Structure 1
Amino acid sequence: MTDLSALIELVEHRIGQDFDGECHLTEAEARQIAAAIRDLTEWRDIATAPRDGREIILRRCKRVGAASWIEWPESASEEAGQGWTIGYDGDCWDGDKSPAHWLPLPSAPNQAKEAGE
């Protein structure tokens, strides 16, 4: 995925730069920005989702929610397993509820901006 912070800085730096009366981006810069927008807005096949424990957005039909992939060892009460879990409450996306697509979570908002600083 493209580093959006760097792209935002690039675009903000270009704002106000005047080249023959127009603000220009190179073709490579424009393609990079377009790719970053696609990364944020296009659902991906669940087979490509990260299974490293990070939280992502999952989707199946009308159901959408944040979840992460977990694996658990066998215990006295249940067999070992793995799956998409919602938080720590044990609710899983499995069986006929298995997700079909995913998106990365957006970056957290800047806390200083939220505090009005």
Structure 2
Amino acid sequence: MIWQDMESAPRDGREILALVEDRRPMVVFWSDWLEDHWQPLGQPWREASPTRWAPLPAPPPA
């Protein structure tokens, strides 16, 4: 997996894998509701401060 700078991360609401404050991986998405920010998936009303990102891996075959 190649980590990329957050400046290149998609801001269209799609979920991405990100490294946050303490370098732990977390799924986040760009939220432009109220204030623009990165929001962790499944954790409303919390902002994340990611430093790097990568696309989510493909799910395993069914």
Q: Please, what TM-score do these two structures have when normalized by structure 1? A: 0.47
Which structure carries more relative contact order (alpha carbon 8 Å, separation 6+)? 2
Counterpart check, 1:70 vs 2:31: yes
Match of 1:87 among 41, 45, 54: 41
> Unaligned regions of 5+ residues in structure 1, if any?
1-40, 73-79, 112-117
Could you list the structure 1 runs, at least 4 aligned residues long, displaced by more than 2 angstroms after superposition.
60-63
In structure 2, the residue matched to 1:53 is 13
Q: CA RMSD in A?
A: 1.4
- Structure 2 distance, partners of 1:68, 1:105, is 11
Match of 2:3 among 35, 43, 49: 43
Paired residue type of 1:56: I
Structure with greater proportional helix content: 1
Counterpart check, 1:107 vs 2:62: no
> Unaligned regions of 5+ residues in structure 2, if any?
none
Matched residue pairs, number?
60
| SS of match in other structure, 2:32 | strand
Structure with greater proportional strand content: 2
Larger radius of gyration: 1
| SS of match in other structure, 1:47 | helix
